[in-house]
Amino acid sequence: MAPIQKAIKVTTITLVLTLLLSCSQVGLFPVTHKHQTKFLAEDTLSFHSIDIYARIPDTYKGENLYVILDIILPEEGRYSDTLTLPVKMDRIPYLGVDNGRWRDMKWNYRNNIKFTQPGVWRFYLRRDTSQPDSCATGAIGLLIKKM
């Protein structure tokens, strides 16, 4: 085998192994991680939907995912909502492919809402660590869509 071909082969194998090994922890957020979403509400007349998404380890055995959503209004006001999100496949629509490592899930938080104040709304989503079955998530966040 020519030295160049051998070098290419070794580099390719090293790159593939590095990618495979690094995938095991990519995107793993600790339980104490706080996700922030900023949303600019310019149109206070239109309706919106808010969904919550999470990537949960396949080894998660709990029945629910416990989260706290803090909402900070542009002018004054703060709301906090403690949520219990079911994670069993037969209880909610399942999104994504169960690849043996992660389960991608999505829940509808609110539909047909209007943002009452124009400006930047801030949403903070965090795990409720008071629950015994809290675990790290691969990703967690909000999807806000105009309807």
Span 30-63, pLDDT tens digits: 556 678 889 999 989 999 999 988 888 877 777 8
Is residue 127 one of the residues assigned to a domain? yes
Nearest to 121 by CA among 38, 62, 19: 38
In this predicted structure, what is the pLDDT of residue 68? 87
Residues contacting 80, CB < 8 A, separation 6+: 68, 69, 70, 71
Domain with 66, as residue range(s), is: 28-146
* Segment holding 125, helix H or strand E: strand 119-127
Is residue 82 one of the residues assigned to a domain? yes
* Segment holding 5, helix H or strand E: helix 3-22
Kindly state the average pLDDT of the residues 60-81: 87
Number of domains the chain contains: 1
Look at residue 74 and tell me whether its pLDDT is greater than 90: yes
Is residue 23 one of the residues assigned to a domain? no
In this predicted structure, what is the pLDDT of residue 10? 54
CB-based contact 33:140 (threshold 8 Å): yes
Is residue 22 one of the residues assigned to a domain? no
Span 120-139, pLDDT tens digits: 999 998 877 777 665 666 77
Q: What is the CATH number of the domain that holds 113?
A: 2.60.120
Is residue 66 one of the residues assigned to a domain? yes
Is residue 72 one of the residues assigned to a domain? yes
